[in-house]
Chain A
Amino acid sequence: MRPQRTINRWATGLAAAAVALAVSGAAAQAEPQRGGTLNSTLWPEPPGIVIGINLNAPTLLPSTKIFEGLLTYDFQLNPQPMLAESWEVSEDGLTYTFNLRDDVTWHDGEPFTSQDVVYTLTEFIPEVHARSRPTFARAKVEAPDDHTVVLTLEEPYGPLIRSFDAIGAPIVPEHVYAGSDIRENPVNRSPIGTGPFKFSEWKSGEYIHLVRNDDYYLDGRPYLDEIYYRFIPDSASRALALETGQVQLATQNDIELVDLGRLEAMPHLEVTTKGWEWGAPISWLEMNHRREPFGDVRFRKAVMYALDHAFIRDNIFFGYAKVPTGPIHSSSPFYTDDVVTYEHDPDKARALLDEMGLTPDGDGVRAEIGLLGLPYGELWDRLSQYIKQALGEVGVEVTLEASDVAGWGSRIANWDVDMSTTYLTTLSDPALGVARSYITDNQKKGVLFTNTAGYSNPEVDRLFAEAASEPNHEKRLEMYHEVQKIIADEVALAWLAELQWPTVHDAKLKNVVRNGLGPNDNFAEAYFEQ
């Protein structure tokens, strides 16, 4: 298993979500209506819109309307049909058989067949899709006929069944890509997929325009005529555009959290935090264990005690966050709250620092350290400022270090930093999204998204390794609970917040968030209430 991780806004994960979610309201709704133009914000402007070649968050939103996977997933991350009508997993978990729809055509009119799937999984993904490359390297892919695809594994691999969505395995047309240099293929600027919307135009600096695929295989769908993804670099402008009704959809980090309360109160807008179950992003303060005093667990505990997590949740994330307890997201089935917790207690923090011998000097300063904040805008600046202030109260003087994204990434990857803030998607299986930040093997200098903090505990390494290859779910649970206890007690990282990304949309826009993919669904069902 290769570590995969993102510094960006979103990444996919493959474990079942344990959070109980209200059933989507789709069934209860009135008859959907045809027509209408959806304007959505999109920021920043993506580098490209072919999933796999690009995996940036802004690539995914428009691209998932054009490309489809074999499957899609509901809020509980149960597989649902998309290009595959039905599927079957053998008893031994080594053979996956997919029965494809026979009424699907590509946007250029060519028929969709199993050859496209084979090409995608054996050529396209291994070549360009850095994130799914290791997953599909485990499988042999064959097409016994035009509408059947069989994957064969050498040993069971649980997460595989949740790897067939449009993001993890977008099916691309073989007849367009075969034999070409995939990355340089000119079709990448006007991609051809099977989805409910076709690419129409990309106006640099302004918008990406998608139009209805009139030959879509589901009757009467999609309902919308067209979608504009508009690049609006300024968050205040994005909020204003939602208010004035110029755009009807914004998601993830598009809207400053401070604006949400106001927008939520507006009758024509709705806000939901559903639809981002896979990402399960956690923000933390990463301390470089290789440097003093961070190697001392007492210092790390003191930092946790010094921080008021409730304040962070309420005043920095404006309530769009939860207080984390450890490395695993509370929405994960492997989560336990039976761990050491750290209530805000500056006195305890001071006591721990005293115990370490870090006593205040004449100015009340016990230690001076640097903090490299995530350069993602004003919210993260404020988080850094709060940390500076909170640690300052217990005598730890923090110097904020500014940087742009490039410098930030380089310094963290090269361990050239005291403390840094970040947030990462922990994905749905700890084996994929959690272990990478804590296991000793994954300390790889120069590579971001690894165990850059430098935490190392042989017991933790052992537990993560065994849990990954343990077929028994109960046993896995036990091991992950044990891991959480150890890591939380040793404060491998100072977790700050579980992020709750909001999706804001016009109240008339229905079926926006109807499954676990949220705004990255294909929007075949989305419609405007007249």
Chain B
Amino acid sequence: MRQLGFLVGWLVKALVVVLAITILNFLLIRLAPGDPAIVMAGEAGAADERFLAQIRSDFGLDRPLLVQLGIYLKNVLTLDLGQSYRNQRAVVDMLFERLPATLLLTGSAYLFALVFGPLLGAIAAMKARTVYDSALMVVALFFYATPIFWVGLLLILVFSVQLGWLPPFGMQSLIPVEGTLARTLDILRHLILPAVTLGLFYVAVYVRLTRASMLETATLDYVKTARAKGLPEWRVATAHILRTALLPIITFAGLQAGHLVGGAIVVETVFAWPGIGRLAFDALFQRDYNLLLGVFLLSALMVVFFNMVTDILLRVADPRIGSRA
């Protein structure tokens, strides 16, 4: 009963948030100067009044703003995100076409970070104030302080241009590879540089977060209790320090997971990765309202969804949450 209540409450809240985001974005995007009809007409190399009027009426751009909003919201409820103005295709289709690429990139960077970040952070914390710790923290701080696009460019310069080991852009070889296995390997090869670029930053964040969180936890009284019980140091570190120290990391990871869809614009640009971020970026400049709104909606849904996942994980990891009155 309690679980059900939680779920219903969460769903209502999520719905309200997503609705509010959609409305805000709808209005914001239309505040922008620039007329999608002119962009489209410009691209078509034909901009007489008749053509402009036709485009505007095709996409309902000639109606009052609130009417447009109402129509949009009504369509969204039936999972119809409309047509992309520029591409004249269903926005839903375009999103789902690009989604796997983005999730592959951000997901692998994310997993990479989730594995190595807390691991290295824990090592740094346990070796706090030693050479290992300092070295790790300097490296982490470096990647934390480095613009992602710059890391990407340098990696391309070194590993693609100079050494020629890895492909510098794209998700697949331009010359198609035959066979499922070969194709998979090919994608993996393309994935390495962008995923590492993105992953290094994420790792740096998690290393710092884990270390700080563990050092903070280590000062708590019950850690002293654990030592007083005569537990070996590794047990104290894992079962008592890390376990609690992971709570803020889970929170952060959940927050970040929601932002995976739009989080890689820069990397997708540098590595010509065919993902959602890049789609959103182009859509913005073409004033492709529906497409852009679609990206925002998808991303808001992801955020809200992962917020719930995080909530659940935290409830599992920390029995105090949810039972507090």
A and B touch in the complex (CB under 8 A): yes
Residues of chain A whose beta carbon lies under 8 Å from any beta carbon of chain B: 2-8, 10-11, 37, 39, 44, 47-48, 53-56, 130-131, 183, 188-189, 204-206, 228, 230-234, 237, 240-241, 246-247, 375, 403-411, 413, 444, 446-449
CA distance A11 to B98 in the complex (A): 30
By the criterion CB–CB under 8 Å, are B44 and A130 in contact?
Answer: yes
By the criterion CB–CB under 8 Å, are B47 and A237 in contact?
Answer: no
Contacting residues, chain A, for B33 (C-beta < 8 A): 403, 406-407, 410-411
CA distance A48 to B84 in the complex (A): 11
By the criterion CB–CB under 8 Å, are A447 and B34 in contact?
Answer: no
Starting from the known contacts A5-B45, A8-B44, A206-B170, 12 additional A-B residue pairs (CB-CB under 8 Å) come to: A55-B45, A55-B46, A56-B45, A228-B176, A230-B174, A233-B272, A240-B169, A404-B284, A406-B286, A447-B49, A449-B42, A449-B47
By the criterion CB–CB under 8 Å, are B39 and A406 in contact?
Answer: yes
CA distance A407 to B287 in the complex (A): 9
By the criterion CB–CB under 8 Å, are B38 and A448 in contact?
Answer: yes
By the criterion CB–CB under 8 Å, are A3 and B48 in contact?
Answer: yes
CA distance A407 to B45 in the complex (A): 17
Q: B141 at interface (Cβ–Cβ under 8 A)?
A: no
Q: B198 at interface (Cβ–Cβ under 8 A)?
A: no
Give the residue of B41, B46, B174, B274 whose beta carbon is less than 8 angstroms from that of A247.
B174
Could you tell me the dominant secondary structure of chain A's interface residues?
loop
By the criterion CB–CB under 8 Å, are A231 and B274 in contact?
Answer: yes
Contacting residues, chain A, for B287 (C-beta < 8 A): 406
The segment out of B86-94, B114-122, B313-321 that lies at the interface is: B86-94
CA distance A37 to B175 in the complex (A): 9
By the criterion CB–CB under 8 Å, are A205 and B279 in contact?
Answer: yes
Q: B159 at interface (Cβ–Cβ under 8 A)?
A: no
By the criterion CB–CB under 8 Å, are A5 and B47 in contact?
Answer: yes
By the criterion CB–CB under 8 Å, are A204 and B42 in contact?
Answer: no
By the criterion CB–CB under 8 Å, are B44 and A237 in contact?
Answer: no
Q: Mark B248-286, 1 if CB is under 8 A from A, else 0.
A: 000000000000000000000110101100110010111
B 168-223 contacts with A by CB, 8 A: 168-176
> Could you list some 18 contacts between A and B, CB below 8 A?
A4-B46, A8-B42, A8-B43, A47-B43, A54-B44, A131-B45, A205-B275, A228-B176, A233-B278, A234-B270, A403-B33, A404-B284, A405-B39, A405-B285, A406-B36, A406-B285, A407-B32, A410-B35
CA distance A10 to B46 in the complex (A): 11
Contacting residues, chain A, for B46 (C-beta < 8 A): 4, 6, 55, 130-131
By the criterion CB–CB under 8 Å, are A405 and B45 in contact?
Answer: no
Chain A residue at minimal CB-CB distance from B58? A183
Contacting residues, chain B, for A44 (C-beta < 8 A): 282
CA distance A44 to B269 in the complex (A): 13
Q: A205-B97, A206-B171, A237-B272 are in contact. Are A407 and B34 (CB under 8 A)?
A: yes
Chain B residue at minimal CB-CB distance from A58? B43
Chain A residue at minimal CB-CB distance from B167? A246
By the criterion CB–CB under 8 Å, are B35 and A39 in contact?
Answer: no
CA distance A247 to B282 in the complex (A): 24
Q: Mark B145-173, 1 if CB is under 8 A from A, else 0.
A: 00000000000000011000000111111
By the criterion CB–CB under 8 Å, are A233 and B269 in contact?
Answer: yes
Q: B51 at interface (Cβ–Cβ under 8 A)?
A: yes
B 79-132 contacts with A by CB, 8 A: 84, 86-89, 94, 97-98, 101
CA distance A447 to B48 in the complex (A): 7
CA distance A237 to B58 in the complex (A): 37
CA distance A295 to B39 in the complex (A): 28
Contacting residues, chain B, for A8 (C-beta < 8 A): 42-45
Give the residue of A55, A404, A446 whose beta carbon is less than 8 angstroms from that of B44.
A55
CA distance A369 to B62 in the complex (A): 34
By the criterion CB–CB under 8 Å, are B88 and A183 in contact?
Answer: yes
Chain B residue at minimal CB-CB distance from A413? B38
Q: B246 at interface (Cβ–Cβ under 8 A)?
A: no
The 10 closest A-B pairs by CB, nearest first: A406-B34, A205-B274, A6-B45, A130-B46, A237-B169, A407-B34, A406-B287, A204-B97, A246-B174, A7-B42
By the criterion CB–CB under 8 Å, are A404 and B285 in contact?
Answer: yes
Contacting residues, chain A, for B18 (C-beta < 8 A): none
Contacting residues, chain A, for B98 (C-beta < 8 A): 204-205
B285: shortest Cβ distance to chain A, in Å? Answer: 4
CA distance A232 to B94 in the complex (A): 18
B172: shortest Cβ distance to chain A, in Å? Answer: 7
A471: shortest Cβ distance to chain B, in Å? Answer: 26
Q: B52 at interface (Cβ–Cβ under 8 A)?
A: yes
Chain B residue at minimal CB-CB distance from A425? B45
Q: A55-B44, A130-B48 are in contact. Are A206 and B274 (CB under 8 A)?
A: yes
By the criterion CB–CB under 8 Å, are A406 and B32 in contact?
Answer: yes
Contacting residues, chain B, for A37 (C-beta < 8 A): 175
Contacting residues, chain A, for B35 (C-beta < 8 A): 406, 409-410, 413
Contacting residues, chain B, for A232 (C-beta < 8 A): 169-170, 272
CA distance A130 to B50 in the complex (A): 9
Which of B32, B45, B50, B275 counts the most chain A CB atoms within 10 A? B45
